Chain A
């Protein structure tokens, strides 16, 4: 398959005034194939947006380069940018302008004009189902409508590659569903390559042909969903939400010894689950087992005997969340 995006050792370091520096992206190597949806999955602060900003030419990499459709983003930025559309996480629209005026203005930034631009704007307004509101100011739109216009701007010049940076943040489920369908439509009907960033495992699972999992500025795993889940084995994941009681190492050892199907146990005290360390956040105990449903009664019994209050229990099949957890020891939503 032909590569649409290739990055080599993409790195971004920020220097502080006091002389110290922080490495936001630590040498990312990526290859995104033409016509695929590639998701960058990771928690907030993992470096997804910084990576996508460097690939799109918004930020200059400290080292490394990205090649888009054969053009280097650092050496031939204008050629590379002509191939790409950009849908940022924020609603990057002028609130004082109408939907149509926004589309016309950004169309001109892609050297479009005249009838061709007007016709394209009409098409896109139909595509996002806002033709009847096209002359209304953006600041009178709902969040979901703004998101749709935000996406339409990225599609104006029929790009071969489109970046979408968490495009479903802060919208209602109905609008979210619509956007996810649109993303699939772009690949399936228009053959576009989509680079999609999200911190929501469900979105990545639903949309992606391939996924790159990012944490602390580095890609820690990359491949199809099947390839990734294989990395953590075919284990079920048993998640216990427990009360304020402390789970001792002795208790964890007892679970692993008595419930023979259990391969390992992770314990997240409340302070690891929340950056704020809120006391109201419950602790979580996670056990990996070959046959989760068999091990479940035994674990409950042991915890009960130890006086641990179990607030909820969930049994999960292997998924990207499990992969992330297995690789980092932390839940994705953390």
Chain B
């Protein structure tokens, strides 16, 4: 009760101080609005303003050979398990003997897939050429169809080209070395580097194998193509846009592999059943090759349709112009500026509240209220806890009010209700709380560390401004590794990610709580809470000395 009484008193005295209110609320709101209007226009912007985002695309994907995975050495892995051996089935066509086992093997041999090439081509806005080969089976790959494929997206030449939206949005360059690409991002040459790993295709493709009963089975790799999107901290929105695009494409690859796994398994097993049951009699076939092929063609077409999906470019139904970028990218320019500038300004000004809130311990000592509290039967740790709690709540309320006010301003400027921070309220609150912990923890730390009032007044703003510069609050960016020293960076990055979130309002609460550590801001929260708690504990330990008279 005593702690709460002290915390209430802190809140009350803070919000009765008009000068402090001006510093806490009016200044950051005015600054953010001016910057938003200056750089964001009046918000009447339907098309994305971000164009030609410089992106480095590094494709390390080594591809994937289906033959290596479907284990059919000279026919079928375990012929003994079948009621017949496909290698025993021999056709004599003219002067040529055709072995069914070899024929099946040939059908699969040399089918090389490279999803990395597809992803890179899309990002680079290049045509996707067929680099897969179906060797010598007499089956023309162009005849293979895929029911999963949106025919509208497939052109007759067997090539697939992404729509022009990405061409305008991205200024992508192919880079061979990932380190060069990352360095380019650090130096500001690129906003983002997209690095496709060596195992990308392998991880995306189901693993097929025959079991002892002769049935085809498939497994999905647990890890689905981990593409690295390396973004510059100062271009968080660009990073979020590119990440959203890459996620969308990779997710579609992933969806196709699930469908392929099930369909191919079923189809091959049906073929084997047909052969086993004698429904397809191949033993007496004696005809010329075209007749055999003609005879097999309907079967092959059915059986290989799923395979067709696998090897047909564009089968992933990748239509980039239909791929929503993200909520933030689709928002108006003013909204985007508000998220980046507004959140950083809010945290920057909250830093002053954090430090000067704790600085009040000196004022209390001067006006002897601190002494009066110490003479009361109240343990000093209660006095400390009450003061810290009060400061934490003040900062939390300040950030909450600022973000709400910025939402209102953005809505007025844009001309319609616009919740610029995204719709995941639970996570937004959590990020604000984590930031409030950092801010008030820093306040405790600075006041605890300083030996005199004058040192607080001198060094407090210096520390705040340094953190703001590092964290990108002044609209220019530093290398990301440097920026990461500032919790403003982690806070702004979290808000940007939340604003980019595509969660709808109805499910956001549940998603925020249940999937807390499976979200885009999990790392941000972890870093912010870690920094906040560390600053708080060290600061509290140092601050105890300020209670000595």
Residues of A within 8 A of B (CB): 53, 56-59, 77-79, 81-82, 84, 86, 88, 90-97, 101, 105-106, 108-111, 113, 153
Q: List 13 A-B contacts (CB under 8 A).
A: A78-B377, A86-B375, A88-B368, A88-B371, A88-B372, A90-B368, A93-B367, A94-B367, A95-B367, A105-B5, A108-B1, A109-B376, A111-B2
User: How many Å lie between the Cα of A113 and that of B368 in the bound state?
Assistant: 23
User: How many Å lie between the Cα of A86 and that of B367 in the bound state?
Assistant: 14
Could you say which residues of chain B place their CB within 8 Å of the CB of A106? Answer: 372, 376
Q: Look across to chain A and name the residue whose beta carbon is closest to the beta carbon of B9.
A: A105
A97-B9, A111-B1 known; 14 other A-B pairs, CB under 8 Å? A53-B549, A57-B375, A77-B377, A86-B375, A92-B371, A92-B372, A93-B367, A93-B369, A94-B13, A96-B17, A105-B9, A109-B373, A109-B377, A153-B372
Of B2, B12, B367, B374, the most chain A CB neighbours within 10 A belong to B374
Find out whether the CB atom of B9 lies under 8 angstroms from the CB atom of A58.
no
Task: Map CB proximity to A onto B232-244 as digits: 1 under 8 Å, 0 otherwise.
Answer: 0000000000000
Find out whether the CB atom of B369 lies under 8 angstroms from the CB atom of A109.
no
Q: Look across to chain A and name the residue whose beta carbon is closest to the beta carbon of B372.
A: A92
Could you say which residues of chain B place their CB within 8 Å of the CB of A56? Answer: 375
Could you say which residues of chain A place their CB within 8 Å of the CB of B373? Answer: 109
A96 with B16: in contact, given A59-B549, A78-B377, A86-B375 (CB under 8 Å)? Answer: yes
B379 interfacial by beta-carbon distance below 8 Å: yes
Least CB distance from B52 to A in Å reads 54
A91 with B368: in contact, given A58-B375, A108-B2 (CB under 8 Å)? Answer: yes
Least CB distance from A117 to B in Å reads 11
B378 interfacial by beta-carbon distance below 8 Å: yes
Q: Look across to chain A and name the residue whose beta carbon is closest to the beta carbon of B373.
A: A109
Find out whether the CB atom of B376 lies under 8 angstroms from the CB atom of A110.
yes
User: How many Å lie between the Cα of A84 and that of B371 in the bound state?
Assistant: 14
A92 with B367: in contact, given A106-B372, A108-B2 (CB under 8 Å)? Answer: yes
User: How many Å lie between the Cα of A108 and that of B378 in the bound state?
Assistant: 10
Could you say which residues of chain B place their CB within 8 Å of the CB of A91? Answer: 367-368
User: How many Å lie between the Cα of A88 and that of B16 in the bound state?
Assistant: 25
Find out whether the CB atom of A94 lies under 8 angstroms from the CB atom of B9.
yes
Sorted nearest first, the 3 A-B pairs with minimum C-beta distance are A92-B368, A90-B368, A109-B376
Least CB distance from A98 to B in Å reads 11
Find out whether the CB atom of A58 lies under 8 angstroms from the CB atom of B374.
yes
User: How many Å lie between the Cα of A57 and that of B375 in the bound state?
Assistant: 6
Find out whether the CB atom of B372 lies under 8 angstroms from the CB atom of A86.
yes
Find out whether the CB atom of B1 lies under 8 angstroms from the CB atom of A81.
no
Q: Look across to chain A and name the residue whose beta carbon is closest to the beta carbon of B17.
A: A96
Least CB distance from B195 to A in Å reads 57
Least CB distance from B15 to A in Å reads 10
Find out whether the CB atom of B377 lies under 8 angstroms from the CB atom of A110.
yes
Which residues between 3 and 33 of chain B lie within 8 Å of chain A, taking CB atoms?
5, 9, 12-13, 16-17
Find out whether the CB atom of B1 lies under 8 angstroms from the CB atom of A113.
yes
Could you say which residues of chain A place their CB within 8 Å of the CB of B9? Answer: 94, 97, 105
A58 with B549: in contact, given A81-B376, A91-B368 (CB under 8 Å)? Answer: yes
Could you say which residues of chain A place their CB within 8 Å of the CB of B549? Answer: 53, 58-59
User: How many Å lie between the Cα of A95 and that of B379 in the bound state?
Assistant: 24
Of A78, A94, A95, A110, the most chain B CB neighbours within 10 A belong to A94
User: How many Å lie between the Cα of A82 and that of B379 in the bound state?
Assistant: 12
Find out whether the CB atom of B377 lies under 8 angstroms from the CB atom of A82.
yes
Find out whether the CB atom of B13 lies under 8 angstroms from the CB atom of A81.
no
User: How many Å lie between the Cα of A97 and that of B369 in the bound state?
Assistant: 12
Q: Per a CB cutoff under 8 Å, which of B5, B12, B17, B372 touches A108?
A: B5
Task: Map CB proximity to A onto B369-409 as digits: 1 under 8 Å, 0 otherwise.
Answer: 10111111111000000000000000000000000000000
Least CB distance from B373 to A in Å reads 6
User: How many Å lie between the Cα of A106 and that of B2 in the bound state?
Assistant: 10
Could you say which residues of chain A place their CB within 8 Å of the CB of B1? Answer: 108, 111, 113
Find out whether the CB atom of A78 lies under 8 angstroms from the CB atom of B13.
no
Could you say which residues of chain A place their CB within 8 Å of the CB of B12? Answer: 96-97, 101
User: How many Å lie between the Cα of A58 and that of B372 in the bound state?
Assistant: 9
Could you say which residues of chain A place their CB within 8 Å of the CB of B2? Answer: 108-109, 111
Find out whether the CB atom of B371 lies under 8 angstroms from the CB atom of A58.
yes
